[in-house]
Chain A
Amino acid sequence: MLNFHIPNRQRDEKIIILIRRHYFIILIKFLVWIILAILPFLFYLMMSNVLKGFLPAELFYPIVTLFASIYYLYIWLFAFYSFVDYYLDSWIVTTRRIIDIEQKGLFNQTISEQQLYRIQDVTSEIKGFFATFLNYGNVYVQTAGELERFIFKQVPNPGLVAKKISELAEENKRFNRLLADADEKISTK
């Protein structure tokens, strides 16, 4: 899972966390598509006699067949589209950066990144019945000088993710301080 392509990968950069929205989010979307797939059966059972009276007999069978075929093809297409949207929305925490990859429709992908040492504050939030029960929520990452926050949306174990990002940010800051000290010593010599 962690063997994932990351944009503009730097030398020695390793992926620590790769997360998507909680499974429950895509499950809910699929549930909607399943309900929509069942609906025509119920509609046909209840309304077939009415429809037969409304449409000419030689038109009834072709229309129902074509409609059913198109309906199920498009249900399948939109369900797949929901999955693609879910699958491509991801957040990556590496040893140096946090990367937010957001898929907005088919032809629009936004990638934002922030250096770990610039992180000032990490907050996790679990809100709502299902979120509390299934342990998923948002993680807000505030960086120095940035008005906008990085938001990891509806991710599993937000508390753990926030803790891990804080630890990595601290580690990164310590490492950067050491590098700066070493540079200073070299320049004074």
Chain B
Amino acid sequence: MAIPLSIFYYLYLFFILVFLAFSFFNVYTLLRFGFLTLSNLIIVVFYLAVSVLILTISWNYIGQIDWHQSVYFASTL
């Protein structure tokens, strides 16, 4: 049985979307209830910077994979 590798990639993108949505709500909550102070802004920028760093490092690895290939389970298992 062959399954396209891209399924995992789309699943990954879905998790990224959920991550982005929750990040937005977290940042919104912090700014809405914690107010737009300098310390809050520094915290938000730090959070976003580390998030971008994780995504960039991930992309460096994920970009090397050929997502068009299929995996044959029956022959390998």
A residues neighboring B (CB under 8 Å) = 4-5, 56-59, 61-63, 65-66, 68-70, 72-74, 76-77, 80-81, 83-84, 87-88, 101, 103, 106-107, 109
Contacts and interface: CB of A to CB of B under 8 A. Distances in A.
Contact of B62 (A66, A72, A87): A66
A88 B33 contact: yes
A65 B54 contact: no
B2 to A, nearest CB: 11
19 contacts: A56-B77, A57-B76, A59-B71, A61-B65, A62-B8, A62-B67, A66-B11, A69-B58, A72-B54, A73-B15, A74-B15, A80-B26, A81-B22, A84-B30, A84-B34, A87-B34, A87-B43, A103-B29, A103-B33
A56 B73 CA distance: 7
Contacts of A58: 5, 69, 71
A83 B43 contact: yes
Contacts, number: 87
B34 A70 contact: no
B62 A65 contact: yes
B55 A73 contact: yes
Contacts of B34: 84, 87-88
Contacts of A72: 54
A134 to B, nearest CB: 23
A70 B43 CA distance: 22
Nearest to B62: A65
- Which of A63, A70, A81, A109 has the largest count of B CB atoms less than 10 A from its CB? A70
Contact of A56 (B35, B58, B76): B76
A5 B30 contact: no
Nearest to A59: B71
A37 B16 CA distance: 18
A77 B26 contact: yes
B33 A109 contact: yes
Contacts of B55: 69, 73
A57 B8 CA distance: 15
Contacts of A68: 58
Interface string B46-77: 01001100110010011001010101110011
